[in-house]
Amino acid sequence: MITLNLKFRVLSFLTIGGSTTFSLTDNPLHPMVVPPSSIKGTLRTAISNFLPKGYTSCNGTSPEEIMEAHEREGVCDVCKLFGYPNHESDCIKIEVVSAQELDRLIVTRVSINDKTQTAEKGKLFSSEAVKPLSEFEVKIYFNEKCGDRLLKLLLYSLLALRLWRLGRNAMIDLKLVYEGSPKDDEMRVLLDRLSNYLWGEENGLLA
């Protein structure tokens, strides 16, 4: 088992919707704040939209679409790594270590009309959110039996997540501490790119 130790940094207000109806806000945070399933799902979506050459994705958004694609072309690489309906992945397990202690606040927003892209009158709503620049730790456990190719796809997924969104459209950054040795030059480049934040003050990209 390979352990990827990650540090996530929230770059904008982060809300991952909860299910409770007993809340002071319209959009409460999920009780776990950042569920592992949300990270896994976002990684899957991100890499499907930034798929590297040589890998496959069925791009299915419903169980029916996924199964139809697999029947035509076989199980895609993204589904082999992350799993698909009725087939839990044997390759990865995600653990969120410290997100429950994140500072939270209530943010008031206004609904936007999708057609006109203007604010709708009288449609204010509130969200419980994690503050920007908050950080939390994530561990991803990768089953070595799944092979170096899918390990690289997981690393590509982490890179893609920096350009995607988590929860209700929050931008995040991440960096990886990897204690193993790169298997080849491609993996060495991936690990180097993940070794520091992309959008951090270290690179002069955050005020």
Residue 189 confidence class, pLDDT cut points 50, 70, 90 = very high
Give the Cβ contact number of residue 110 at 10 Å.
12
Per the prediction, the chain carries an average pLDDT of 82
* Residue type at position 73: E
pLDDT (tens digit per residue) in 118-147: 766 666 656 677 788 888 899 999 999 999
pLDDT at 156: 97
pLDDT value, residue 53: 93
Could you give the C-alpha distances from 154 to 37, 90, 206, in angstroms and in order?
15, 13, 26
* d(C-alpha 40, C-alpha 138), whole Å: 11
User: Is the sign of the CA dihedral 125, 127, 131, 137 positive or negative?
Assistant: negative
**Beta carbons within 8 Å of 196's beta carbon, 6+ residues apart:** 175, 202, 203
Counting residues of the chain whose pLDDT is more than 90, the rounded percentage is: 39
pLDDT of residue 80: 92
Which pTM value belongs to this model? 0.81
In this predicted structure, what is the pLDDT of residue 20?
Answer: 53
pLDDT above 50 for 207: no
Torsion of CA 175, 181, 183, 187, to 10 degrees: 20
CATH fold for the domain made of 2-203: Alpha-Beta Plaits (3.30.70)
- Helices and strands of the chain, counted as H and E runs: 5, 6
Write out pLDDT tens, residues 23-78.
Answer: 556 555 566 678 888 899 999 999 999 999 999 998 877 888 888 888 888 889 99
What lies within 8 Å, CB to CB, of 102 at 6+ separation is: 10, 33, 130, 131, 134, 136
Would you state the pLDDT for residue 98? Answer: 74
